[in-house]
Chains A and B, each alone.
Chain A
C-alpha cells in the first residue's frame, strides 16, 4: 500500500510537467511524445519543488499543496483536450521496417527490464537509500515534515558540516511535501522519486537521440548508460547525482534539439508555431499568425534548456557550476552568432529557478568547500602534489569508470575511429558549444578539488566517481549525436 501511495502522490506533479511541456511543444510523433513525457517528469518534480519552497516561506502550515496540484492538473487537462480537439493532431507512429531497428529496440527493452529488476532488488534491500541519501536529503525532509512551521532549522549552521545544510532543496522538498500530503513519513516516497529520475534519465537520453539521430544510436547509448553499475546504484540509492545528471542532460538535449529543428526551420509548417492565445475561436488564426505574442518552438526549447539548467542548480551545488558554465559558453556562442535575443530566451527559462536559488543561498549557511582564508586557498592552488593526485585520480577514473572488465573509454575511442564523427554543418556550432559545457564542467570539478579544505585523497575517493557520473549521460548524448550513423542510413529511422 505504501508503494502505491508513494507512486500516486507524484502523479499530479509529473502530469503537470508533461502537459506544460506538451502545451509549449506541440510536436507529434511517438518519440517526441515520449521525450516530452520524460522531460515532463523532471520539469514537474522541479516545478513542484520550487513552488513548495515558496509555500514554505509564505505559508508553511496548512497549505493544501496536493489539492492545488490537482486543480492545476485539471485546468491543464481541460486546455490540452480542447486544443487537441481543435488542432486534430494525429499521433504518427512510424512502422519500423528495418530489422536492425527492431533488434535495437529489442535490446533496449531487454536492458530496461534488467535495470528495473536491479532497481527493485536494490531498493527492497536498502529502502532507506544510500548513506548520503538519508543523511543529507531525507534528513532535510524530516526537518521540514516533522516541524514544518520551523522548517528553517534544516539550514542551521549548528548542524555538523557533513549534513550539508547548504545543499539545495529539490530532492528534500519533494519528499517533504509528499510526506505532508500523505500525512506520514513514508520511506517509499524518496525511493519512488529516485526511481522516477533514474528511468526518466534513461528515457530522455533514448528519446532525444532517437529524434535527432537514430533508434540504433539511441538504443546503444541508453544500453551503455544502463550497463554502468554506478549509475543504477546511484539511481536506486536516492542520492541527488542522477537527478542532477537528468537536468544537465535535459538542458543539453533541449539545446541540441533546438539546433536540429533550427536546421529544418525553413520547412516548418504553421502547426509548429506556438501561440499563447488559445481562445477557441481564435486558435486557428492565432496559430497561423506570427504575432508578437508568439514564440517559435525553437525559442521554447531554449526556455526549457534554461529552466532545466536552473533545476540542476536547485538539485545540487554542482548544478550551480553548470549554470555558470552554461551562461558563459552560451553567451559567447550567441554573441558570435549575433543572436543575443535567443540567449535572452535561455535566461528567461533560467530566471525562476535562479531567483529561488539566490534567495535560498541568502538564508542557507555557507558551504564547506570555500572555507578558509585566501592564503589557505592559494597554498592549496600552488601545491604541485595536489595537481598530481588529481590527475592520477582522473586517469584512474577514466580507466575504471563503468565497472566493465575492459575500460569503457577504450570502446568510445574504438567507436570514434571505426565509425567517425559526422556532424551536419548547421548543428556543428551548437554541438561544439554543448561539448565545451560538459568539458568545462569536468574541469570545474577538478578546480574545486584543488581548493577543497578537506583531505584531498579522501574527497577524491568518495566523490570523484559521482562527479563523472553526473556528466556521463550528457557526454553519451553528445558522443552518439556526433557519431556517424551506425546503420549507415542517415535519417532511416528518424521519426
Chain B
C-alpha cells in the first residue's frame, strides 16, 4: 500500500515537473515569436492605402495580377500566394479576383513582370504606378 502511494506521488510529481518544463520552454520561445516593431500585415495595409484612395469605387470586385500571371517570370509560388492573401485582406471589402477581367485591376509586379504585362496591352489599360512595385490598371475597353 505504501509503495503504491509512493508510485502515485512520483507520477504526479513527474507530471508537474514535465508540465512546468513545457510551459516555461514555451514562455521562453514566445520571446522569439516575432518582432514587436514590425507588423507585416499592417505594413502591407499601408502599402496599398494610396491605391485604395485612388480607386473611384468603394466596393465590388477588383482584378489581381502578380508575377505568377506573367509567362516565364521568376517567382516563389508560396510567396505569391501569401501576397495575394495579404492584398485581399488589405482591400476588404473589395473582392480580389485573380486575372485582368475586372474594370479595375490591382498589380503587385516586379519591374520586369510589369514591362512584360503592359507591353502587349498598350492602349488597352490606363496604369497608375505606386511605391513598392504596386500598380493600378483601369481597363479602357469594357466591351470584352
Contact = CB atoms under 8 A, between A and B. Distances in A.
Nearest to A227: B19
Given A414-B11, A419-B8, A139 B31 contact: no
A111 B41 contact: no
Nearest to A159: B95
In the A-B complex, the 9 residue pairs with the closest CB atoms: A125-B34, A227-B19, A121-B30, A142-B92, A147-B93, A229-B26, A128-B41, A227-B22, A143-B93
A160 B8 CA distance: 53
B30 A118 contact: yes
A411 B22 CA distance: 14
Interface stretch (B81-89, B104-112, B117-125, B133-141): B81-89
Interface of B: 4-5, 7-8, 11-12, 14-16, 18-27, 29-31, 33-36, 39-42, 58-59, 61, 84-85, 88-89, 92-93, 95-98
B22 A135 contact: no
A135 B84 CA distance: 11
Contact of A404 (B18, B34, B36, B41): B18
A392 interface: no
Nearest to A223: B19
A146 interface: yes
B92 A139 contact: yes
Contacts of B27: 114, 117-118, 121
A226 interface: yes
A403 B30 contact: no
Interface residues of A, number: 54
A160 B88 contact: yes
B44 to A, nearest CB: 10
B89 A223 contact: no
Contacts of B35: 125
A107 interface: yes
Contacts of B98: 160
A143 B92 contact: yes
A122 B20 contact: no
Nearest to B30: A121
Contacts of A142: 89, 92-93
Given A122-B30, A143-B93, A227 B23 contact: yes
A125 B30 contact: yes
A195 to B, nearest CB: 14
B59 A128 contact: no
Chain A contact residues, majority secondary structure? helix
B39 A111 contact: no
Contacts of B93: 142-143, 146-147, 150, 153-154
Given A150-B59, A411-B15, A156 B30 contact: no
Contact of A114 (B7, B8, B23, B89): B23
A402 interface: yes
A162 B85 contact: yes
Nearest to A412: B15
A415 B30 contact: no
Given A153-B59, A488-B5, 18 more contacts: A118-B26, A121-B27, A121-B33, A124-B36, A128-B40, A128-B41, A139-B88, A146-B92, A158-B95, A159-B88, A223-B16, A227-B18, A229-B29, A403-B22, A403-B26, A405-B21, A411-B15, A418-B11
B48 to A, nearest CB: 13
B53 to A, nearest CB: 14
Interface string A158-170: 1110110000000
B98 to A, nearest CB: 8
Nearest to B31: A121
Interface of A: 107, 110-111, 114-115, 117-118, 121-122, 124-128, 131, 134-135, 138-139, 142-143, 146-147, 150, 153-154, 156, 158-160, 162-163, 187, 220, 223-224, 226-229, 232-233, 402-406, 411, 414-415, 418-419, 486, 488
Contacts of A406: 18
B22 A402 contact: yes
Nearest to B5: A488
Contacts of A488: 5
Contact of B12 (A121, A156, A405, A486): A486
B89 A135 contact: yes
A163 B89 CA distance: 10
A220 B15 contact: yes
A111 B85 CA distance: 37
6 contacts: A111-B20, A125-B36, A128-B40, A160-B85, A220-B12, A404-B22
Contacts of A107: 16
Contacts of A486: 8, 12
A226 B18 CA distance: 12
A127 B39 contact: yes
Nearest to B61: A158
A158 B11 contact: no
Nearest to A150: B59
A403 B8 CA distance: 23
Contacts of A139: 88-89, 92
Contacts of B61: 158
Given A139-B92, A159-B95, A226 B19 contact: yes
Contacts of B59: 147, 150, 153
B80 to A, nearest CB: 12
Given A125-B33, A126-B33, A150-B59, A115 B23 contact: yes
A115 B19 CA distance: 12
Nearest to B98: A160
